[in-house]
Chain A
């Protein structure tokens, strides 16, 4: 596939891997966080860890929209879907997130609720046009990448004069989550989570550009390399981070120059600013309340805000006690550190959100990497 295969070339990967091995200082270790679920997925799917020296550790960050949505908001969506004749539309992965009582949008659908999986937010508007006598709610989730399409959808609905369409907005912001991780006691004071640098998001950065990450390089002295979602992008970004750390630099560098401009996509940013405003605070699964980390619909567009139209209450529902999703999302623990990983909690029967989406750290490790754990345990057994 043109423009894709070039970035999955095993021969080039070996060359970069050799450079990483040569340049990585044996006297130290490197702890690098890939913020985005897209990177987590690429690392697991292509087996990138197999190509890295043992002193280069990848930490999976919280950049998976499904994983960070708190259970309370999922419960809100389920309650919405139970309103008679209401049509709830959302992206595929959202349908499987379990709530505290084991319910999910998929299960509610099986019981008769009209929950529809869509591929584009524009499809939700079409459904509203086709069903003028029914309320249609688009459950909007995701980081900066999916926010502009939601803004377009709201403006389209306004232009069409739709009175039966609204958006349940759960859009969140990347930079505030990174700040939150860097300010967490585990990273800042206790030092229990060594964190030397970040692989910056791919698609998110096409919208917001590189500038928002400069704060992390200046304030926290952590290098950031923006990278594409292809495996070679990830390898190259790891090499660039190691070089920065070796040279004592902490800068924002851009590996993904084929798509990311320093200023990002200004048109999209303006569109988002026109339709959305910052929430004072928003709950993230695993991170808790994070100030100024999410968006809500501006009052000019209030008629399209499902939270207002349906008086959606704020629900705070705790995670299952045995579930370590919180610690995993903060990089404090690995999936295999969780007691219920792969036993009680599996992709068929997810307890925590990290097991739901293929971008979640647990699902990625379970689906692609868990043979490594068994190799370790059988080696131990043989020893």
Chain B
């Protein structure tokens, strides 16, 4: 059987990854598309599955429970301090997979590219994805590329899908929170959302804040090893921890009581929120998780998180309570109480 890689490609001029642009032909299924896949995606993501160049990836599975998660990534700007849409698209899906306690196995990636998008930027994004996937040891084994006409997209949209294996004895689900449980977060809140917001065109003040985008597979692995019966794990992305906690409250039919003075929030995030009239509880995170566990396991879980670089600012921020209305409440630093409600619409700055 001839080795496919030794067949001379029928295209001769290589892709101009410095000055070239995405063209409609890159999505039309012809030679140009094959060239893009070969010279850009395959060379970056290189692995045995992808090299077979099939429309699907065939892999061996083991007996047990599998999880699958998918996430579409659209973000402006595409590059931001601490990451870019590439690393974000890998971290986001891996994090969704591991919030079940699973070990992530494989990723699939699908790209929607806008005509005219610089190939140099696309290469930066693809390289960043490859690096993120390699660091997490989760290969991208199949994918797809489409090109839309100019002005029909926002540069690049990336959808990633991930699968993983859940170890025996792990049963983590958002319906498992029980009154008395402790609520933990793995680190400072709102870093990603504020870093992105400060970059947007019409905000003209500067700070050195970086997105927290990170893959949480290793942190979760050490957490489930230390405390196998964690009740709930959730990554508080869009809508921040307020939204995630309201979802968990509904799913578990419980209430929650948070303590404002226990919330880990960076000074610049607090200041930016103050300035813009935003609430850090509703601001997105991309490298943080919420964990809920029985009260007698909370200290052990917290110590495990503290021992991991992605959890060294972890904190116990509240507890699960009985409440038929499923309210998430917070004892304010001032001594009063308030509801931490679902976010309604977009979070918009106040007028005065």
On A, residues with C-beta under 8 Å from B are: 1, 4, 8-10, 13-14, 17, 38, 41, 44-51, 65-66, 91-96, 106, 117-119, 123, 141-143, 145-146, 203, 231, 346-348, 357-359, 366-371, 374, 378
CB proximity of B193 to chain A, nearest CB, Å: 15
Chain B residues closer than 8 Å to A9, beta-carbon distance: 333
Which residue from B271, B277, B333, B348 sits with its C-beta under 8 Å from A96?
A: B348
Chain A residues touching B, majority SS: helix
Q: Are A231 and B334 in contact (CB under 8 A)?
A: yes
On whether the beta carbons of B335 and A47 are closer than 8 Å, the reply is yes
B337 within 8 A of A: yes
Which chain B residues have a beta carbon within 8 Å of chain A's beta carbons? 202-203, 261, 267, 270-271, 274, 276-277, 324-325, 327, 329, 331-339, 341, 344-345, 348-352
In the bound complex, residues from chain A placing their C-beta under 8 Å from that of B336 are 46-51
B331 cross-chain contacts in A, Cβ below 8 A: 47
Decide: A51 near B341, CB < 8 A? Known: A371-B327, A371-B329. no
Contacts of B271 in A (CB 8 A): 1
Contact of A14 with B352 in the complex, beta carbons under 8 Å? no
CA A46 – CA B336 in complex, angstroms?
Answer: 6
For this complex, 22 residue pairs linking A to B, each with C-beta atoms less than 8 Å apart, are: A1-B270, A1-B274, A13-B335, A45-B332, A46-B333, A46-B334, A46-B336, A93-B348, A93-B350, A93-B351, A106-B345, A119-B202, A119-B276, A146-B351, A146-B352, A368-B339, A368-B341, A370-B339, A371-B337, A374-B325, A374-B327, A378-B324
Q: What chain A residues lie within 8 Å of B352 (beta carbons)?
A: 38, 65, 142-143, 145-146, 203
How many whole Å from A174's CB to the nearest CB in chain B? 11
How far, in Å, is B118 (CB) from chain A's closest CB? 23
Question: B334 touching A51 by the CB < 8 A rule?
Answer: yes
Question: When the two chains form their complex, are residues A367 and B339 in contact, meaning their CB atoms are under 8 A apart?
Answer: yes
Closest A residue to B345 using CB positions: A96
In contact, B333 and A10 (Cβ under 8 angstroms): yes
Q: Given A369-B339, A371-B327, does the pair A13, B334 have CB atoms closer than 8 Å?
A: yes
Q: Shortest Cβ distance from A166 into chain B, in angstroms?
A: 20
Nearest CB of chain A from residue B66's CB, rounded to whole Å? 36
B279 to chain A, nearest CB (A): 8
Please give, as numbers and ranges, the residues of chain B lying within 8 Å of A366 by CB-CB distance: 341
Q: How far is the CB of A87 from chain B (nearest CB, A)?
A: 13
B352 to chain A, nearest CB (A): 5
Are B345 and A371 touching (Cβ within 8 A)?
Answer: no
A371 surroundings in chain B (CB, below 8 A): 325, 327, 329, 337, 339
Q: Select which of A8, A13, A141, A357 is within 8 A of B350 by beta carbon.
A: A357
Measured CA separation A146–B336 after assembly (Å): 31
Q: Which 9 A-B pairs have the closest CB atoms?
A: A47-B336, A92-B348, A347-B344, A50-B336, A368-B338, A46-B334, A367-B341, A92-B349, A47-B337
Are B335 and A119 within 8 A (Cβ)?
Answer: no
B338 touches A369 (CB 8 A): yes
Whether the pair B267, A1 counts as a contact (CB closer than 8 A) is yes
